[in-house]
């Protein structure tokens, strides 16, 4: 299911099933900044995250109008002067962090996961620390940088063979997990390889999985190729970096 014309952002919280690890993951669905794949890359992902003892926060970020991010002249995706999705993502991270005690979370275990366009949002919030919006309340004094980041088949990062100019990876960028298929027909593999190279050059711990087959927008539904193993690989990585350790 896809939704569009989102003018009012919302965040929906799904509590962990069973033991609570104290970790939370904010989910950014994909959809090319035109729509949101709210089930494939939203609620289905939350079902898996909560089954691992993590709180899931599903962000329905603004995608106002189906063509606001598409230029008919060049037949390409463009970005508005006002980065609505980035504003919503930054604010959500701050809100979750501000409510850590209330939600029984460890404020140092707040991560993000994004798919396609949502993967681009993951890179943005991982590296853009200045607020994209005017201060609203004391919550905005908190950091919007996640403690860990997960991007699947990210888009918009590879521009003419170079990393998108607004993404400046530093040693402060959080540990990152990347997954993409080499045969992705929508977002070329360079979106992951260029970002992985930047992470490596900055000394950021990263785990990168590039599979031969899987296409695009596979979510948790791919069952016929090795790329279907990404959830178990992610679980192992989350354990290794201490996210799935208790508290």
**Domain ranges within the chain, ordered by starting residue:** 2-240
pLDDT in tens, 7-52: 999 999 999 998 999 999 999 999 999 999 999 999 999 999 999 9
For the domain covering 2-240, report its CATH number.
3.40.50.1820
pLDDT in tens, 180-204: 999 999 999 999 999 999 999 999 9
Contact 148, 111 (CB under 8 A): yes
Token reading at 37 = 């794949």
Q: What is the mean pLDDT of residues 125-149?
A: 97
pLDDT in tens, 160-181: 999 999 999 999 999 999 999 9
Q: Is pLDDT above 70 for 67?
A: no
pTM: 0.94
Position 245 scores a pLDDT of 80
Percent helix / strand / coil, the chain, rounded to 5:
30, 20, 50
pLDDT in tens, 69-105: 555 555 555 555 568 999 999 999 999 999 999 999 9
Position 83 scores a pLDDT of 86
**In Å, what is the CA distance from 100 to each residue of 1, 23, 138, 161, 189?**
31, 10, 15, 40, 36
Q: Which contacts of 136-143 are long-range, i.e. CB under 8 A and separated by 24 or more positions?
A: 136/91, 139/91, 139/94, 139/95, 139/98, 140/91, 140/94, 142/94, 142/97, 142/98, 143/93, 143/94, 143/97
Place of tokens 């690890």: 21
């Amino acid at each position: 299911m896809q939704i569009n014309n989102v003018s009012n952002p919302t965040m929906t919280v799904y509590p962990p099933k069973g033991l609570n690890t104290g970790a939370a993951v904010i989910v950014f669905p994909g959809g090319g900044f035109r729509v949101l794949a709210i089930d494939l890359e939203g609620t289905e992902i939350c079902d898996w995250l909560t089954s691992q003892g993590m709180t899931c926060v599903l962000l329905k970020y603004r995608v106002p109008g189906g063509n606001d991010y598409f230029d008919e002249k060049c037949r390409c995706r463009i970005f508005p002067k006002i980065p609505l999705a980035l504003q919503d993502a930054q604010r959500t991270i701050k809100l979750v962090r501000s409510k850590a005690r209330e939600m029984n979370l460890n404020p140092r275990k707040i991560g993000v996961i994004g798919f396609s366009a949502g993967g681009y949002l993951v890179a943005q919030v991982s590296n853009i620390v200045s607020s994209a919006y005017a201060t609203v309340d004391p919550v905005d004094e908190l950091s919007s940088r996640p403690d860990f980041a997960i991007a699947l088949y990210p888009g918009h990062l590879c521009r003419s063979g170079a990393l998108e100019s607004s993404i400046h990876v530093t040693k402060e960028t959080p540990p990152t997990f990347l997954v993409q298929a080499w045969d992705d027909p929508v977002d070329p593999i360079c979106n992951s390889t260029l970002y992985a190279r930047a992470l490596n050059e900055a000394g950021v711990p990263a785990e990168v999985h590039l599979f031969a087959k899987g296409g695009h927008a596979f979510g948790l539904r791919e069952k016929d190729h090795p790329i279907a193993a990404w959830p178990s690989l992610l679980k192992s990585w989350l354990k290794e970096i201490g996210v799935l350790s208790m508290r």
